[in-house]
Amino acid sequence: MAAEKQRLAILGSGFASLSLVKRIDLSLYKIAIVSPRNHFLFTPLLPSTTVGTIEFRSIIEPIRSSRNEIRYYQAECISIDPEKSIVKCETVQSKEIFDLEYDHLVITVGAVNNTFGIPGVEKHALFLKELQDARKIRGKIIENFERAAVPGTADEEKKRLLHFVVVGGGPTGVEFAAELSDFIKDDLVKWYPKLAPHATITLLEAATQILGTFDSKLSEYAMKIFQRQNIVIKTNSPVKEVLEKTILLHDGTVIQHGLVVWSTGIGPTKLLQSLPFPKNRASRLLTDEFLRVPGTRNIYAAGDCATSEDENYPATAQVAQQEGKYLACSFNRTALGKKAEPFRYKNLGMLAYIGDRRALADLPNVKGRGFATFLFWRSAYLTRLVSMKNKILVLFDWIKASIFGRDISSF
C-alpha cells in the first residue's frame, strides 16, 4: 500500500512559490497554496506595462493552471500555530476564516512597499509592485495629458500635470522612468504634439547615485543616458513629505508634480510583523542553510520575506526562483529518505533597461551596456517567462508596439 502523501502548504504566489510548485513531486505531496493574488506576476517586466509596451495579461499566469492536482485558496494567512501545524486564513471576498493543517509549511508572502513613514506617500503617490499599480499609473499618465489638453488650462497647470516624479533610483524606478521617456518621445508626441515636448521626468534618489547595486561605471553610464533623454536626476534628495500637488524635500526644495511613482524599497507584511520567529533588522525572516526557520521543525521561508542567518540575500526574483527550486528538490529528496543538501545561492547578475533601446548587464564576468545589451535584456527575460503562452504574448506585444506604437486609450 502506497504511503500517504504529506501535506505541503505554501503561502504566496510569487517566484519562490511557483518555482517550488513546478518542480515538486505530486506523487509525494499534497499541495495547498494560499494567496490573495490568484496569479503569478513576472515583476521584472512590470514597468513595461505602465506605458503599454507590454499588455497586462501577457506577464501573469493563473496559479490554478500551474500544475494539476494542486489546491488553491484565494485568502490571506493571518496567523500560524507552529505547535499544532495549522495556519489560520481569511478569504479575500467574504472575509471568512478557515484553518489549514500542514505537515510542512513554506512562507513566501513577499513584501510590501516601504514608505519609511513619510507623510502623504500612501495618499498621494502610486506604487509599482502589483498589476493594479501599473494600471493606475498608465491611466494617470493619459489622464494628465488629456487634462493638460483642455482649452484654457493655464501654462503653469500644464507644466505641473506633465511633471512626472519617480522616487527611488533602484532598478524598478529607473526602468519606469526609461519606459515613460520612451512613451513620451515615441508615441505621445504624435498625439499631443504641443504638450509632449514640455513633459518632464524627475528621478529622486536619497543616495549618492542611482542603481547603487550595479557596477559604478554602469551607474554613471545610465545617468549620462538619462541626461540625454532630459530626465532630471536629483541624488542626495530624500523626500520629507508628499502632498497632492507638490513634493517637499529635506533641503526645503518644493517640486510641483502631476504624478508621483514611489519605488524606494520593500518592508514586511502584516503577517511577517506578527510572527514570533527570528528576523533581521529589515524584519525579514531568518533561515538556516536548509531555508528552515530556526526553532521550528517544519516551517520554511523563501523569497523577499526571508534571508539567511549567515548571508543577506538580495530581495530579487532570481534569489526567490533559486530558493523555490531548491526547496522542491529538498522536499523530494527527504520524502524518499535521502539527505538534503544546503542551499547555495548563485549570483547570475543583474539587468536593467535605461531607455532609448539601451540596457545594462552587470554579470559576474561581463559588464554590458548599450543596444546589444538591450537585445540581451529582452532575450533573457523572454526565456525566463514561465509559460509558452506568456513568451508568445510578450514577443507579439514588443512587435506590435514597434510597428503600431503604444496604445493611448484610457479605460
What is the rounded distance in angstroms from the CA atom of residue 294 to the CA atom of residue 296?
6
Q: What single string gives the DSSP state of each residue in 373-384?
A: HHHHHHHHHHHH
Rounded Cα gap, residues 296 and 247, in angstroms: 45
CA distance 70 to 51: 35
Cβ within 8 Å of residue 2, ≥6 positions away: none
- pLDDT at 326 > cutoff 90: yes
Q: Interior CA angle at 238 toward 233 and 242, to 5°?
A: 100
- Total structural domains in the chain? 2
- What is the biggest distance separating any 2 CA atoms in the chain, rounded to whole angstroms? 81
Residue span of the structural domain in which 293 resides = 6-38+74-111+268-335
pLDDT at 142: 97
What the block records as the C-alpha cell of 6 is 504529506
- Does 32 map to a domain? yes
pLDDT digits (tens, 9 = 90+) for 357-382: 999 999 999 999 999 999 999 999 99
Let me know if residue 243 belongs to a domain.
yes
Confidence of residue 411 (pLDDT cuts 50, 70, 90): confident
Instruction: Find the mean pLDDT for residues 288-298.
Output: 95
Nearest to 100 by CA among 110, 90, 108: 90
Whichever domain contains 288, its CATH number is: 3.50.50.60
Among 265, 282, 305, give the residue marking a domain's end.
Answer: 265
80 and 26 housed in the same domain: yes
Backbone torsion region of residue 364, taken as left when φ is above 0, otherwise alpha when ψ lies between -120 and 50, otherwise beta = alpha
Element (H, E) at 249: strand 246-249
pTM over 0.85: yes
Q: Is residue 197 domain-shared with residue 84, that is, in the same domain?
A: no
**pLDDT at residue 207 is higher than 80:** yes
**235 and 326 co-located in one domain:** no
pLDDT of residue 2: 55
Identify whether residues 261 and 126 lie together within a single domain: yes
Give whole-number Cα distances, 46 to 42, 131, 290, 361, 406, in Å: 7, 7, 31, 18, 15
Is pLDDT at 160 greater than 90 in this prediction? yes
Task: Give pLDDT, residue 410.
Answer: 80
Which residue do the cell numbers 511557483 mark? 18
Residue 87 pLDDT greater than 90, yes or no: yes
Q: Which residues pair with 369 in a beta bridge?
A: 360
Verify that 154 and 287 share a domain, yes or no: no
Confidence at residue 81, expressed as pLDDT on a 0 to 100 scale:
95
CB burial string 293-302: b at 16+ within 10 A, e below? beebeebbbb
Same domain as 205, residue 98 = no
DSSP lists the bridge partners of residue 308 as: 287
Find the distance separating the first CA and the last CA of the chain, reported in whole Å.
57
4 pLDDT band, cuts 50/70/90, is confident
DSSP 153: -
* Confidence category of residue 125, pLDDT binned at 50, 70, 90: very high
The mean pLDDT value for 157-182 works out to: 97
Which CATH number covers residue 189?
A: 3.50.50.100
Give 30's Cβ-side CA count (13 Å radius): 10
Whether the CB-CB separation of 381 and 245 falls below 8 Å is answered with no
Q: Which DSSP category does 114 fall into?
A: -
- Give the pLDDT of residue 1: 43
CA distance 162 to 195: 8
